[in-house]
Amino acid sequence: AKRMGSGGAVVFQDSLHQTALTALRTEQDMFLAIQRDEFVLHYQPIVATATGATMGFEALVRWKHPERGLIPPLDFISLAEETWMIVTLGRWIMETGIAELATWRDRDLTLAINVSPRQLGSGDFAGAVRAALHRAGIEAPRVTIEVTEGALMDRAAVAQLHELRAIGCRIAIDDFGTGYSSLAYLRHLPIDIIKIDRSFVTPLGSAPGVDRFFDAIVGLARTLDLRIVAEGVETVQQLRSVKAARCDAAQGYLFSKPLGADERQSRYPGSRPV
């Protein structure tokens, strides 16, 4: 058993070393990838539950790696955050998204951009958004900044949220219900929209208690004058529950998966490039 134990330790150290090497390589890769333009944004529609109209899209980043193919964000966003690479990558995402929005014919469509806490809290992010909006000729209310509850714990990030709101951008709390903040706490923060996490949407319609809980969250958000988006709607039954709760908007595979820029342009003919 002893021998096996020490052997295990060696293997363990070796794999730690391996992990560090892989992380380092990915960090260097990521740096080069920004310069080589290997990141792309996909766009997923956000639909008004009352009318079925598409109100806007959420930008979701992917890495078009020359050898590894299309890499999903969950495989590189946390590394980008740890290494601060997210500041550079996030700037690219924000500027590319806003430039893309300027090519959409439908001038009412909105764009939601995900921003990580670290990115929000470093440098003058709000100033950079204002400059990008000005360059693209986009009115600020067409842009929503999505942040997770973690961003609300950082004073510099909250200051940026106030700035963004002063410019006229909308602020959404992403993955609502997965963190520790209560709606009562959110009341004092500059927030317009909450996006209820998919984990609350998936079980809708499966048991009465589930729907009652969902209804209560939506009802409370409404008393705070927040708009509510249900994430991860995949079935007609879930949509029925979301509508019954009087959720303002929904997003999910039932409507569409995230689409590449060209596919989005052709699938949404009201919004072809000018």
Question: Which of Ca ion, ligand C2E, none does 253 bind, CB closer than 5 to 8 A by kind?
Answer: ligand C2E
Paired sense of beta strands 249-250 and 39-48, if any: antiparallel
Q: Which of 174, 241, 258, 271 binds Ca ion (CB under 5 A)?
A: 174
Which residues between 115 and 174 bind ligand C2E (CB under 6 A)? 115-116, 174
Instruction: Please give the Cα distance from 186 to 158 (Å, whole number).
Output: 12
Question: Which of ligand C2E, Ca ion, none does 144 bind, CB closer than 5 to 8 A by kind?
Answer: none
Q: How many CB atoms lie within 10 A of CB 124?
A: 11
Task: For the chain, report the end-to-end CA distance as a whole number of angstroms.
Answer: 71
Q: CB of residue 137 vs ligand C2E: minimum separation in angstroms?
A: 22
Nearer to ligand C2E, 59 or 221 (CB): 59
Instruction: Please give the Cα distance from 175 to 30 (Å, whole number).
Output: 26
Q: Which of 100, 146, 211, 248 binds Ca ion (CB under 5 A)?
A: 146
Q: Which stretch binds ligand C2E (CB under 6 A): 129-137, 185-193, 218-226, 249-257?
A: 249-257
Nearer to Ca ion, 29 or 175 (CB): 175
Q: Which of 12, 84, 185, 253 binds ligand C2E (CB under 6 A)?
A: 253
Given a contact cutoff of 8 angstroms between Cβ atoms, the answer to whether 195 and 247 are in contact is no
- Binding of Ca ion at residue 175 (CB under 5 A)? yes
Given a contact cutoff of 8 angstroms between Cβ atoms, the answer to whether 98 and 136 are in contact is yes
Q: Which of 56, 117, 205, 252 binds ligand C2E (CB under 6 A)?
A: 252
Q: How many CB atoms lie within 10 A of CB 116?
A: 20
Q: CB of residue 34 vs Ca ion: minimum separation in angstroms?
A: 21
Given a contact cutoff of 8 angstroms between Cβ atoms, the answer to whether 204 and 231 are in contact is no
Residues in the chain: 274
Name the DSSP letter for residue 149: G
Instruction: Please give the Cα distance from 141 to 209 (Å, whole number).
Output: 36
Nearer to ligand C2E, 90 or 121 (CB): 90
- Binding of ligand C2E at residue 211 (CB under 6 A)? no
Q: CB of residue 112 vs ligand C2E: minimum separation in angstroms?
A: 9
> Taking each helix axis from N to C terminus, what angle separates 2-35 and 85-101, rounded to the nearest 10 degrees?
40
Q: Which of 45, 121, 177, 258 binds ligand C2E (CB under 6 A)?
A: 258
Q: Which of 74, 184, 236, 274 binds ligand C2E (CB under 6 A)?
A: 74
Residue 44 three-state SS: strand
Question: Which of Ca ion, ligand C2E, none does 60 bind, CB closer than 5 to 8 A by kind?
Answer: ligand C2E
Helix (H) or strand (E) holding 60: strand 54-65
Instruction: Please name the residue that has the structure tokens 């809708």.
Output: 204
Where on the chain is the footprint of ligand C2E (CB under 6 A)? 44, 59-61, 72-74, 77, 90, 93, 114-116, 174-175, 232-234, 251-253, 258
Where on the chain is the footprint of Ca ion (CB under 5 A)? 114, 146, 174-175, 231
